[in-house]
């Protein structure tokens, strides 16, 4: 089984990049399941209904979230009714939506997908470690493979999570920083991780934002409203190949697909 995970979709340009290129990438890599982090898809952060529909139509199976997930109030009904649009599991229980889903692939494999938010240098959230542990115990026997999108800032927190859940969560990866890391690794107990998938969107900018709207913060202490960057775009993520019998990850491969748009 092959699982393709893509990093944060940034703004309308990121949505357009996914729309134009995801099906080609999915077919090229032979992915059985595509998971996309979409918490930055709207023009000013968050996920709106139209962007979610576009990413699903492009070939995504599950959309994960992060600290910006619930910025768009008009999307709350979508979070409550669509089982495959997730916000972080460790958000407060009264938050709209849910933090996990069970997805069945075309080959009949039951995949548990969970979305989690970190605590270090992030908005307040409950412990992702406790939330993941409780979910795995509660759903024991109901899934064949587990996947976690850990949306977090600190690489140390991400690494601690990955090693903590080695052998319990097959596929683990980080999102949030928009910068793809080069540390993809197979773990001793059969799991695999990469610290950050990177982003889907314009590559000629600062984390998907026009450089001039960021530079002033550092040179003059003047904060300007961020504007989405324009130019060439790419889809960044990773492809995880699992053994069909054991569920062990055999290979994790970084993905960067330069779009024609």
Residue 13: DSSP 8-state: H
| Known active-site residue 223 | no
Instruction: Find where tokens 């690489």 sit.
Output: 155
Q: Single out the catalytic residue among 68, 151, 176, 178.
A: 68
Could you give the angle at which helices 49-57 and 11-29 cross, rounded to 10 degrees? Answer: 20
Q: How far is CA 239 from CA 68, 141, 191, in A?
A: 25, 25, 13
Phi and psi torsions of 256, nearest 5°? -140, 110
Closest CA to 37 of 82, 99, 86: 86
The 3-state secondary structure of 24-81, one letter per residue: HHHHHHCCCEEEEECCCCCCCCCCCHHHHHHHHHCCCCEEECCCCHHHCHHHHHHHHH
How crowded is residue 120: how many other Cβ atoms within 10 Å of its Cβ? 12
Q: How far apart are the first and last CA of the chain?
A: 30
Retrieve residue 206's tokens: 């600062």
How crowded is residue 71: how many other Cβ atoms within 10 Å of its Cβ? 15
Distance of CA 139 to the CA centre of its chain: 21
Q: What are the residue numbers of the active site?
A: 68
């Amino acid at each position: 089984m092959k699982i393709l995970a893509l990093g944060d979709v940034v703004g309308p340009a990121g949505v357009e990049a996914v729309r134009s290129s995801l099906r080609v990438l999915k077919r090229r890599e032979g992915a059985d399941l595509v998971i996309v982090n979409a918490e930055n898809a709207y023009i000013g952060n968050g996920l709106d209904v139209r962007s979610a529909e576009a990413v699903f139509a492009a070939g995504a199976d599950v959309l994960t979230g992060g600290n910006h997930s619930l910025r768009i109030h008009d999307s709350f009904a979508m979070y409550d009714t669509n089982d495959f649009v997730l916000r972080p599991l460790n958000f407060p229980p009264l938050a709209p939506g849910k933090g996990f889903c069970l997805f069945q692939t075309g080959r009949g494999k039951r995949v548990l997908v969970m979305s989690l938010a970190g605590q270090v240098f992030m908005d307040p959230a409950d412990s992702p470690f406790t939330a993941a542990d409780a979910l795995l115990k509660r759903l024991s026997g109901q899934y064949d493979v587990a996947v976690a999108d850990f949306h977090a800032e600190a690489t140390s927190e991400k690494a601690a999570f990955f090693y903590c859940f080695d052998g319990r969560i097959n596929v683990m990866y980080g999102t949030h920083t928009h910068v793809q890391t080069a540390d993809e690794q197979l773990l001793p107990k059969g799991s695999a991780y990469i610290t950050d998938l990177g982003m889907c969107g314009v590559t000629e900018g600062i984390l998907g934002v026009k450089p001039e709207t960021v530079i002033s913060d550092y040179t003059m202490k003047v904060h300007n409203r961020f504007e989405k960057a324009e130019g060439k775009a790419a889809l960044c993520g990773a492809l995880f190949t699992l053994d069909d019998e054991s569920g062990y990850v055999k290979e994790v491969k970084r993905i960067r697909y330069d779009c024609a748009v």
